[in-house]
Structure 1
């Protein structure tokens, strides 16, 4: 009986110990899982902190690079005065310097300051006719000079205006006696004193022809020309 009782006691003790170990095992596994989760969470937080620090450092480096670039563009010279002139556009054409303004005669006739009224001619015009309306006191125009004029051009037969420098807002400047203008002008204006107003009656052959070749007005023409300067 005692032996049986002893064996029973040992069996009971072993069963109690086995139950204790089985109950402790799940608790230990759960603890390990919890510890692993905590460790992973700490590692993730550490990674986020490192990424934040790296991002902040990159931002600082970008700002430093930008400031350095601006200093380089400015030549690194804080004492250099800034230019106030606007940069020239590379696409804008460079305008040539304007020629000096012609010197007008000091005693120019007041009539040359007003646009003349030009009427039609009469009869058949067969040759160049030069009529002095106002005689100037300046030197005579020479072939090869550049002259400055005001003029009015009308059709000889009806007096209808087709052109006038007065309406264009400025006098006309051109070489004379060298084939740069119509023949009637080359022939009629050479020898005219500066400061004169002359009337030129041109047959078609000395103007633009009977058929207005080149877009000019056809037929005989009449011009009243003021010779303002010759150079």
Structure 2
């Protein structure tokens, strides 16, 4: 009997099995906690890398902007700046003693009879030098149809005189022929037959047939 007792004491008792089970549970718990700690540390490390990468990207972008050549930055500033206004040509010198009549728009009536040739009628004679071919002249004018007096154009309506070369084919022949030789400061009436104007079948909105203009010659240079 004492031998059986000794054999049972040397084997595994129920208390010993319970302790082993408890030890196994504790070991598993510790392993799980260690795994969670490793995952937490790994996650924190990944987060640090991500933040570092983001900061590095911003620094790289800013440094890239700073490294751009000065000429590129200057051209960008130039393109953003408003363009300069074109330089206006110098204003023509109007005669100091210009006739007061030339300061108001004239009333132009229709012509009478059949117009067969260019007719120049002086309404106000200026005191300036005679206009020469090739000069730039500054004028105010009113244009009407010779037959009915209906206005089709007038510089007065634009609020600004018209400047153009004269006697060199830049305007209709009736103007080139009728205004050369007119003294500056004059107001003249030009009755122009169709062949010296835009013709009898003018296209593009141009006035057809004989025309009448009243032209004020304000300057020539």
Aligned to 1:184: 174
Instruction: Note the C-alpha offset of 1:89.
Output: 5.1
**1:168 and 2:122 correspond:** no
Aligned to 1:51: 46
Instruction: Note the C-alpha offset of 1:217.
Output: 1.0
Alignment gaps of 5+ in structure 2? none
Instruction: Note the C-alpha offset of 1:152.
Output: 0.3
Instruction: Note the C-alpha offset of 1:125.
Output: 1.1
Q: 1:214 to 1:64 in 2, by over 3 A?
A: closer
Q: 1:88 to 1:50 in 2, by over 3 A?
A: closer
Aligned to 1:141, what secondary structure does the other structure show? coil
User: For the residues of structure 2 that align with 1:146 and 1:201, how far apart are their CA atoms?
Assistant: 22
Q: For the aligned residues, what is the CA RMSD?
A: 2.7
User: For the residues of structure 2 that align with 1:213 and 1:66, how far apart are their CA atoms?
Assistant: 62
Query: Which residue, out of 103, 121, 124, partners 2:93?
Result: 103
User: For the residues of structure 1 that align with 2:65 and 2:163, how far apart are their CA atoms?
Assistant: 53
TM-score by length of 2: 0.85
Aligned to 1:215, what secondary structure does the other structure show? coil
User: For the residues of structure 1 that align with 2:22 and 2:53, how far apart are their CA atoms?
Assistant: 47
Q: 1:110 to 1:204 in 2, by over 3 A?
A: same
User: For the residues of structure 2 that align with 1:216 and 1:59, how far apart are their CA atoms?
Assistant: 69
User: For the residues of structure 1 that align with 2:43 and 2:135, how far apart are their CA atoms?
Assistant: 89
Relative to structure 2, which stretch is displaced further, 59-68 or 149-158?
59-68
The structure with the larger Rg is 1
TM-score by length of 1: 0.82
Equivalent residues in 2 for 1:212-223, closer than 5 Å: 212-223=202-213
**1:210 and 2:206 correspond:** no
User: For the residues of structure 1 that align with 2:147 and 2:60, how far apart are their CA atoms?
Assistant: 82
Aligned residues: 216
Q: 1:66 to 1:42 in 2, by over 3 A?
A: same
Q: 1:9 to 1:55 in 2, by over 3 A?
A: same
